[in-house]
Structures are given as C-alpha cells and as structure tokens.
Amino acid sequence: MVERRTVLQVSGVLAVGGVLAACGGGAGSEPSGAAAGVASDAAGSSGEGAAIASVGDVPVGGGVVNDEVAIVVTQPSDGSIKAFTAVCPHQGCLVSEVVDNEIICPCHDSRFSAVDGAVLQGPATEGLAAASVVVQGDSIVLA
C-alpha cells in the first residue's frame, strides 16, 4: 500500500512536471516572439515616443497605415515625411493604403492628398487632420 501511494505520488509529480514542461515550452515560444516584437519596437524608437513607422518602409508616393495609433504616414516626395489621422472623416473607417500620393478609404472610396490630407474625391467633405511626427534616424515618432 505504501509503495503504491509512493508510486502514485511520483507519477502525479511527473504528470504535473510534464504539464509544466509542456506549458513552459509553449509559453517559452510565445514570449520570445513577443520579445522580438518589443525588441523591434525598442530598436525602432530612439526617443520617448514609440516609432509608428520606419522611413525605409514608407515609399515615395505611398505610405504606411499604423492601425494601432490610427495614423497614416506618407512620403509625397523624397525625404518629405507627412502624417495624418487615418480615421476617415466621412464615417470613421480607417484609410487602408496610399497609392500615387492618394490616401484611400476603402469604405466608400474617398481619397485624400498625401501632401496635405485634403479631400481629392468624396463622399468625404473634410480632409484628414495632420498629425505631428518627427523623424529620428530611420524612425518616425509621434511628436
């Protein structure tokens, strides 16, 4: 009887250990992925604010939409970085892309200037408000 209890306790420990090991492996892989994200964010920011985009990721004539902060960053001409709210003033959708210096809202196809956010095509009647950003090295940071 005593030996059986001992065996059960040992197997219970092994079972728990196996679960922990399994969890450890799973948890170990997730944080390392998250750590990579944090590392890239940290690497992308050299000031107090987090980088919302990298200059190298913003093509001339195009742009990058950062969904997390709802900002669209554009580069209408080489070296000229602009930023605007990504929230369309028509009905609040997020703009989705920038093509040929036009910021496009996918909901009803309003288009805005990548230079100053002005309406190029409705149904939106108001432009995109400018956002203040600064370029720090290759990082674009909210000012």
Sites of contact with ligand FES (CB under 6 A): 88, 90-91, 93, 105, 107-108, 110, 123-124
- Give least dist CB 71 to ligand FES, A: 16
Handedness of CA 4, 10, 14, 15 (dihedral sign): positive
In the bound complex, what is the minimum distance in angstroms from residue 100's beta carbon to ligand FES? Answer: 18
Closer CB to ligand FES, residue 31 or residue 122?
122
Cis ω for the linkage preceding 89 (within 30 of 0): no
For ligand FES, the closer CB: 88 or 140: 88
On the 0-12 / 13-18 / 19+ scale of CB atoms within 10 A, 69 is middle
If the CB atoms of residues 80 and 91 are measured against ligand FES, the closer one turns out to be 91
Query: Residue for token digits 């004539």?
Result: 61
Q: Least Å distance between CB 92 and ligand FES?
A: 6
Q: Give phi and psi for 7, each to the nearest 5.
A: -65, -40
Comparing CB distances to ligand FES, the nearer of 124 and 141 is: 124
Q: Can you read off the two tokens belonging to residue 63?
A: 């742009």
Closest approach, Cβ 107 to ligand FES, in A, equals: 4
